[in-house]
Structure 1
Amino acid sequence: VPELNPSIYQNGTKIYDEASKITTDEAQKRVYQDSVMTLFIKRGQLYDDETKWIENKAYYAYGYYKDVEEMLPNVVADFERAIELNGELSLAALYPAYFDAIRRNDGYNDAYTPEQVLEKYGEIQKLLAKAEADGKDVATAKSQMENLLVAMDLIDCDFIENTMGPKLAADPTNEALADQIFNYSVQYKCYSTNAFLQALEIKHAKEPSFSTSQVIAMRYMQEDNTAGAEEMWTQALKLAENDMQKADAQMELAKIYVKQGKKSAGRAAAKEVANLDPSRTSDIYSLIGGMYMNSFNDCKGGESRAKDYSIYIAAYNAYQKAGDSSGMANARARFPSKEELFTEGLQVGSTINTGCWIGETVTLATRD
């Protein structure tokens, strides 16, 4: 009486499953397990209610056949059928089982390309995100998924750069792929790849933040792209959430301006750092002192040695504010001599303006 009632199949699967757990005969165990699968198949032939039991079939199949090479494609197919019919798996814990079946199927049967595995992984991640949005606890499932992916040893920096990167370059509007590259790059610490930079640029364009601006700017500096770095740190300054972040951005801008030869802008940015974070005073004034020291050739007029060398006095003063004794000694060694001041009719203790972009009035002193 196979059509007597669906309960025959509901209870029958439970009975055969329990029987498989009780017997110690491995051959008989497999008979009982196969019978569970047969009941699901028979029920599917008689009743139009596959949505009600397909997830259970996948669950049982995984438990029974996860180590059986020839059965693994069916196990994966059952999970995918459940998702196809119901839009999701009802229990978050089933997603790691599904992905483990994929992993085992790939290991036993070489069933997928790495890209296909990652595509399936990405689809499961989306389903977990939906489950989380619906209020389900998916933390354990996510952790198990990550561990399984790592165990597959599919991804490294070369894979991200040479396999995933060209696909993103060919389709820069693929935000899902960009997110995937970004996440894998962070997970596997592949920060120096071009693929990571492109993914980060796409992520930043969509959701600009201080951190994304910061990382892109740092990469640009590694490539000696000071113009790009300046633009990104300027964005970072606008996106900063507190004074510490603003100070970081201003300090990096100061260094960039110095490298670009924009010395006045560099000094202004550096001094702004002091207003935002006084704890950086030493670094700020060491930077300014170095700027002054390196400006001699740009600023010397050749008419007054006292005036030309006065920039070293300005540098000394900056190093003094920084508490940089080595910088102070280096600057003092370049002060004008007593003879040079005497020749020009000047005295120690009098004042002079450095002129040039430095434009500071300093008190004359000598190196001897």
Structure 2
Amino acid sequence: MLTNMKIKSAIMGCLSFLMVGLVQAQDNWNWPSDQAMEAKAREYNAAYNDYMKAEEFLKAKGPLHWLLTNAPDLNEALYINGVKVYEGAAELATDEAEIASFQDSVLTIYDLRNELYDNEPQWIANKAYYAYKFYKGNKDKVDIATKLFERTIEIHGKLEPSSLNAAYFDAVYRNFAFNKAYTPDEVIGKYEFIMTKLDEDEAAGQNVATSKGTLEQLLAAMDIINCEFIENNMGPKLTADPTNLKLAKQIFQYSIKEKCTSSDIFLKALETIDNDSPTFSTSQVRGMRYMQNSEYAKAGELFEKALTLAETDEQKAEIHWDMAKVHANLGRKSQARSSALKAAELNEERESDAHSFIGGLIMSSSNDCKGGQSRVKDYSIYIAAYNAYARAGDSQGMANAKSRFPSKEELFTEGFQVGDTISTGCWVGQTVTLATRD
């Protein structure tokens, strides 16, 4: 489906100032040597100029055509003004065949001008603009516009004014939609090239936000970038060249946009980016991906790296919280507790979660802490868990922990009373006040 009117209007609005003005006078007039022909040439030159100034372009094209045919090297003004005349005639004409003929004549005027004056760099961008304006909706001719934009880039290295970039990619989009003229990889290549040029223009102080937004909308409308494309088309290239930072960044950006962050190729791209220029975010996200894959030791290494790159207490708290989970999954419960408490210290919003997390660690430590000689002592860890849940305000956790307290009978049998204190031992390492579940 082709772009909506909002995009088309934005592009044309940005380009309207490209239209050339009238040329009133030029040096180097080459009047015919024959007096009769010279007189006629002067007459027709005055006539077409008068008609043109009055915007009677359909009348202007007659004498102009005679001059182009019989005195083609009269003056370059014929070709500069000729564009205006034939463009105006195309806008005034009502017959579709005539309109198409006049539009074609605009581009022919540029070709004739080049044959005589060999100054293509001066006007190639304008020629590309007119080809886009006239042919963007024409299945058979839109490729003329794309090739002229590419010729402009070949000559100048870029498109100027910068707003032409959006028109060029719109022509690419239409050629793709009409004719499947490019492979998805070729489209991406053109998109990335234009975006690079827009970045350069932006760095030079130009406002390219509208052009960038248009490109993004057009690329999305092509519906060629999805998780399958990233995995099957871009993935093998990064696998073959894992240090290709530009490709890695493309994969990263597209994967985020298309929500393909669970793929192996996303992780590979992230590794390439993080190895080249690590940031807090890249290292943390890599660590989280390893966590998802149950590669806890690798995750821990990345989180430690992220911690060195953290700039705020909030970021540091996030990493300590991540490390708490790493330690827990590796069975390092004491270290898990320390990391959780450090996260809470750095960010008080983590305090409830931290104590609930610690309660869960303790609840899962029955086998770690079971001595087998005293049921009261073995069950005392659940009192410690209860206290942690209480600090968290976790009523469900508190109820679950209390159900595992020793019973009154168990306290009596071992000579304890409610209110006595006892050391839990093991990694929990707390002294708790005895209570019963009943």
TM-score normalized by structure 1?
Answer: 0.94
1:173 aligned residue (243, 252, 275): 243
Q: Which letter maps to 1:168?
A: L
Q: Does 1:118 align with 2:211?
A: no
- The CA deviation at 1:253 is 1.2
Question: Could you say which residue in structure 2 is the equivalent of 1:334?
Answer: 404
- Written as runs of structure 1 = structure 2, the 5 A alignment for 1:304-315 is 304-315=374-385
Question: Could you say which residue in structure 1 is the equivalent of 2:122?
Answer: 52
- The CA deviation at 1:326 is 2.2
Question: Could you say which residue in structure 2 is the equivalent of 1:13?
Answer: 83
Q: Does 1:223 align with 2:296?
A: no
Q: Does 1:142 align with 2:220?
A: no
Q: Which letter maps to 2:166?
A: P
Q: Does 1:194 align with 2:264?
A: yes
- The CA deviation at 1:177 is 1.4
- Written as runs of structure 1 = structure 2, the 5 A alignment for 1:56-71 is 56-71=126-141
Question: Could you say which residue in structure 2 is the equivalent of 1:234?
Answer: 304
- Written as runs of structure 1 = structure 2, the 5 A alignment for 1:1-368 is 1-368=71-438
Give distance in 1, aligned partners of 2:146 and 2:414. Answer: 92
- The CA deviation at 1:244 is 2.0
SS in 2 for 1:334: coil
Q: Which letter maps to 1:31?
A: S
Residues 71-103 of structure 1: per-residue CA shift (max 9 Å, x gap): 222221110010111111112221121112112
Judge conservation of contact 2:153–2:159 (CA < 8 Å) in 1.
yes
Residues 174-207 of structure 1: per-residue CA shift (max 9 Å, x gap): 2221121122122222222222222222222223
Q: Which letter maps to 2:384?
A: A
Residues 92-147 of structure 1: per-residue CA shift (max 9 Å, x gap): 22112111211222233322111111111111111111111111111111111111
SS in 2 for 1:362: strand
Give distance in 1, aligned partners of 2:84 and 2:127. Answer: 11
Q: Which letter maps to 1:274?
A: A
What is the aligned residue count?
A: 368
TM-score normalized by structure 2?
Answer: 0.80
- The CA deviation at 1:256 is 1.7
Unmatched tracts of structure 1, length 5 or more: none
SS in 1 for 2:422: strand
- The CA deviation at 1:7 is 2.5
Instruction: From the CA coordinates, give the structure whose radius of gyration is larger.
Output: 2
Q: Which letter maps to 1:289?
A: G
Give distance in 1, aligned partners of 2:388 and 2:336. Answer: 14
RMSD: 1.7
Give distance in 2, aligned partners of 1:108 and 1:344. Answer: 87
- The CA deviation at 1:337 is 2.9
Give distance in 2, aligned partners of 1:326 and 1:77. Answer: 69
Residues 328 and 67 (structure 1 numbering): CA distance in 2 closer, same or farther, change over 3 Å? closer
Unmatched tracts of structure 2, length 5 or more: 1-70
Using the TM superposition, name which of 310-319 and 197-206 deviates more: 197-206
Residues 244-291 of structure 1: per-residue CA shift (max 9 Å, x gap): 222222112112211110011000001112211222222111111111
